Amino acid sequence: MLDEILNREISSETPEEISLSEIQKISQTLAKIRISYDDEIHKNEIKVYEELAESLFEVRLSKYLEDNYKGKGFDEFVFNILDKIKELYISLLSGNLIFNDGKILCKVMKDTIIENIELKKGDLIFLDLQKALALWTAEYITPCKIVS
């Protein structure tokens, strides 16, 4: 199960492609254990699987950070989010964002309501970093950069 996926990942220089169907199968099996049993043996078994899942995440994350490999498979979206975090971080620290009073200027990409304000595509709004990152990840806004 997870130990096999972790072993494959550790043995490979690049991220392995892990299919969603493979993860669903493992997840369903472990969900049945969680639901069916409430004894210490099974609680410890689940804890081992949680540790394996954490290790798998850390190995895949280290490959992303060290080698700039993109994730493949069921968790590709995680690496897309990390790309946005990295881009926002670098842009902020390198002075490439319009930053004022702790907020960054953002362009609205989809009609939405933010902080009880109805916004249309193309509108501009200053947002705190955390909110801007969340909305950028959801593709509602994009941070305005000084230099593209």
Model pLDDT for residues 54-73, shown as the tens digit of each residue: 999 999 999 988 877 777 78
Nearest alpha carbon to residue 27 among 62, 70, 74: 74
List all residues 6 or more positions away from 6 whose beta carbon is below 8 Å from its beta carbon: 52, 55, 56, 59
- What's the pLDDT band for 148 if we cut at 50, 70, 90? low
Report which of 34, 133, 24 is spatially closest to residue 88, judged by C-alpha positions: 133
DSSP per-residue letters across the chain: -HHHHHHHHHH-SS---B-HHHHHHHHHHHHHHHHH--SHHHHHHHHHHHHHHHHHHHHHHHHHHHH-PPP-BTTHHHHHHHHHHHHHHHHHHTT-B-EETTEEEEEE-S-EEETTEEE-TT-EEEEEHHHHHHHHHTTSEEE-BS--
Model pLDDT for residues 133-147, shown as the tens digit of each residue: 999 999 999 999 997
Q: 33 pLDDT band (50/70/90 cuts)?
A: very high
